[in-house]
Amino acid sequence: EAGVAQSPRYKIIEKRQSVAFWCNPISGHATLYWYQQILGQGPKLLIQFQNNGVVDDSQLPKDRFSAERLKGVDSTLKIQPAKLEDSAVYLCASTQQMYQETQYFGPGTRLLVL
């Protein structure tokens, strides 16, 4: 069984530029999560999808961050414009169902904003 795929693995941009991350969850997993992990901290949930609908985006900075999962499979997370404090690892995770399930994580995308 293939795991959660993410790309790119690394990205360096200048502040005020735009960037997009892609995630392909495990096949058949209905729930998809995007986390931001700042150095020295635990992952913080940005947005949670159930199929192609948003379950929770309360911690997503909506003035600059957006995410979509149009067909209920893969997902993209975009930052526009980026700020220095957005430097972090962006993790994607998926679960088969919504409740009490183990989350399977991708390798993450490491973003550096200069």
Binding of other proteins by 31 (CB under 8 A): yes
Q: Which residue matches tokens 């892609």?
A: 22
Least distance to other proteins, CB of residue 41, Å: 5
3-state secondary structure 38-86: CCCCCCEEEEEEECCEEEECCCCCCCCEEEECCCCCCEEEEECCCCHHH
Binding string to other proteins for residues 69 to 108, with x set by CB under 8 A, is what?
----------------------x-x-x--xxxxxxxxxxx
Give me the residues that bind other proteins (CB under 8 A), please: 4, 31, 33, 40-45, 48, 55-56, 91, 93, 95, 98-108, 110
